[in-house]
Amino acid sequence: MNAAIRAVVRTAINSGITPYGIYRGYRGMIEDEIEEMDGHSVSNILQLGGTILRSARSNRFRTPEGRQIAYDNLKKHGIEGVVGIGGDGTLTGARIFMKEHPDIRFVGLPGTIDNDLVGTDYTIGYDTAINTAMRAIDKIKDTANSFDRLFFVEVMGRDAGFIALRVGIATGAEAVLIPESKTDIDELVHRLRKNSLKRKNSALVIVAEGDDAGGAFAIADQVKAKGFEQYEMRVSILGHIQRGGSPTCMDRMLASRLGMEAVKALVDGVSGVLVGKKCKDIVYTPFEKAIKDKQKLNPLLLDIVDLLS
């Protein structure tokens, strides 16, 4: 997100526009945490994880009264357009705000590690998250191989399995359990037993946190209850380490391009759209579609897991 902020600020300045930073999202919009920014404000932030503008949820912004205060603060600073970086919550808030105050234009940038927003091939933060998870799992596999262990590793993905699937393929997992497909514990045990017959030193199961059979601990207990004893079992939950750290080159490039394109969209009078990148092209997706629809998983990725395990 910092790369996107930097791109928005510097593109605005080069377009003769005065940029402002709104700290803590919609909460900061209500509490008037709004500051003018210049080129120096975004110096040396490309390599930083998180966001220099911070983030926060705001129940007050869910009310017409709260949004009116936010509007008054934007007008006080002479702000005519807003670039919001986030997911469904950010876009939903922007869509409602624009209906009440149409003289303020909004464009959105896809900022979520889950990669489940339509209108873009990849979201800001996704590449960093999967590489962070991959490196952590590579280290876990060192232990698994040394001690003949079966590891259940839980990654983020409450509603989507994009992280789990790509990380599972990249780390050679025997199985990947995701919200988009129903988990069959008997089939999982059968697969793991076949794996042990191949005289492999270890086994790895990647579990998305939103899988229907439960989290990694619950699934490990169910596998153990089936009498599976070929490997000693361990569970590891990667948690929020996937949401931090220095962003990858791909994420910095994507965020920089989309940040620049967001300012161009506002200058051209475009509003109410998510700015994304599909097949190397910049595309605009209306907020309504971006909120309603979800990115679909490529079923070929599940086939790859099965074939290569």
Cα separation, 190 vs 153, in Å, equals 19
**Cβ count within 10 A of residue 202:** 21
Q: Is 114 a catalytic residue?
A: yes
Cα separation, 82 vs 29, in Å, equals 11
**Cβ count within 10 A of residue 55:** 17
Cβ contact 93:30 at 8 Å: no
Three-state DSSP at 263 gives helix
**Cβ count within 10 A of residue 284:** 17
CA quadruple 243, 246, 252, 255: dihedral sign? positive
> Looking at 114, 116, 211, 251, which residue is catalytic?
114
Cα separation, 213 vs 261, in Å, equals 41
Task: Write out the catalytic residue numbers.
Answer: 114
